[in-house]
Amino acid sequence: MVNIDEEEANNLSAHLGQTRAQFDENYLDKGESGRMVVNAIPCHFLVGNSCSVYEHRFAGCKEFPAFHVPDFNKRLFTTYMHYDRCPIIFNVLETLKIDTGFKQPTT
Ligand code: SF4
């Protein structure tokens, strides 16, 4: 699930020609704290293996897998949880395996 903020929601709803109320109803879940997340896995905007709103994608999408943010290892569970659902996560992890020389342990 992708976290988004007000500015990102305003930007993408304008791009899609939707009011914020329509956009929120169609695509978002809101927590009590005001936290907003895209309410579908895979994301609504994933078409085939591509992001259909690439130029307007969210900061969390642009920075994925966010190595610059502390505690990458604590986010691994959710990353792997979506590995087989999102081609973008799949491709990032498969590229990392190649770049790091990962080898499947033999039994
Ligand atoms: S990159 Fe695009 S398809 Fe992927 S989560 Fe972000 S908005 Fe959705």
**How many other CB atoms sit within 10 Å of the CB of residue 45?**
20
Nearest 5°: CA angle at 75, between 104 and 80?
Answer: 40
Distance (Å) from CA 46 to ligand 1 centroid? 6
What is the average pLDDT value for the chain, to the nearest integer? 89
41 lines ligand 1 (CB under 6 A): no
So what's the pLDDT on residue 100? 93
Ligand 1 contact via 27 beta carbon (within 6 Å) = no
SS3 85: coil
Question: Residue 106: which pLDDT band, with cuts at 50, 70 and 90?
Answer: confident
> How far is ligand 1, taken at its centre, from the CA of residue 82, in Å?
13
- What is the C-alpha to C-alpha distance for residues 94 and 8, in angstroms, rounded to an integer? 28
Per-residue model confidence (pLDDT) at position 33: 85
Cis peptide bond prior to 87, omega within 30° of 0: no
- pLDDT tens-digit profile of 28-55? 999 888 899 999 988 899 998 889 999 9
Q: 69 vs 21, 40, 48, 58, 64, CA distance in Å?
A: 31, 24, 29, 16, 10
Tracing tokens 């604590």 back to the chain, one arrives at 74
The residue ranges of every structural domain in the chain are: 3-100
